[in-house]
Structure 1
């Protein structure tokens, strides 16, 4: 296992944990309440259910490294939406009381990385890829 594969695994797991905990937080707040916030942004309230479940279960899938590319594409769209609809008016750093979009931009960059590269290192994606290739893991995608 190369240093890059270890680093990629750590990054993917932390990314997945971050999204999973944000999804859990939305569940704890109540998706109906989150839907009210979405309405205040001009978005449909039902989108809160999609986002909350995507964050919770998509984060879990990233942690184990399953469907990494697809989940990362969905998270990239989610972060782009968060920047455009919720944070852009606050600026990069935000205001005293409202957060900016700097963290969302970092998460967008990381999710874009995994959407392009897929999962490497310790992951179910890599395990299945190895099995599909007759026991040999592909070196590159």
Structure 2
């Protein structure tokens, strides 16, 4: 069950990371937050690295937990940015919160399986 959740979440983050490079709308979203355009590329790379850790987590539960925790913290920061700057749509905030909660579930499932 954990493997399916990790791989599915990894695919979601991989696609999110790739969208930072392919979509002009995503870059515009970051500039609307007052962030430089290059920041969207950095976030894309970080999301894809987290996705890779989730994929590796199918074989190594500790790395999966680390990757999920890292991505959960990134999503928490995104929620704060969206709410504080008041430019995030409610659907954007809800999707970030959902991904964050899924990542925390993966962390807890992996840590229980390790011990």
User: What TM-score comes out, normalization by structure 1 length?
Assistant: 0.61
2:68 equivalent in structure 1: 72
Task: Tell me: CA distance 1:8–1:20, structure 2 relative to 1, closer, same or farther (3 Å).
Answer: same
Distance in 2 (CA, whole Å) between partners of 1:116 and 1:44 is 35
Task: Tell me: CA distance 1:61–1:140, structure 2 relative to 1, closer, same or farther (3 Å).
Answer: closer
SS in 2 for 1:47: helix
SS in 1 for 2:53: helix
Q: Would you say the 8 A contact 1:16–1:62 is kept in 2?
A: yes
Q: Deviations over 1:22-41 (max 9, x none)?
A: 111112136xx72x532431
SS in 1 for 2:35: coil
Q: Would you say the 8 A contact 1:19–1:56 is kept in 2?
A: yes
Q: Which runs of 5+ in 1 are unaligned?
A: 1-6, 121-138
1:8 aligns with 2:9: no
1:60 equivalent in structure 2: 52
Task: Tell me: CA distance 1:51–1:100, structure 2 relative to 1, closer, same or farther (3 Å).
Answer: closer
Counterpart of 2:34 (choices 32, 39, 42) is 42
Q: Deviations over 1:75-94 (max 9, x none)?
A: 11111122121257478x83
2:106 equivalent in structure 1: 114
Q: Which runs of 5+ in 2 are unaligned?
A: none
SS in 1 for 2:78: helix
Q: Which has the higher helix share?
A: 2
1:84 equivalent in structure 2: 80
How many pairs were matched up?
A: 109
Q: Would you say the 8 A contact 1:14–1:63 is kept in 2?
A: no
How far has the Cα of 1:140 moved from its partner? 3.8
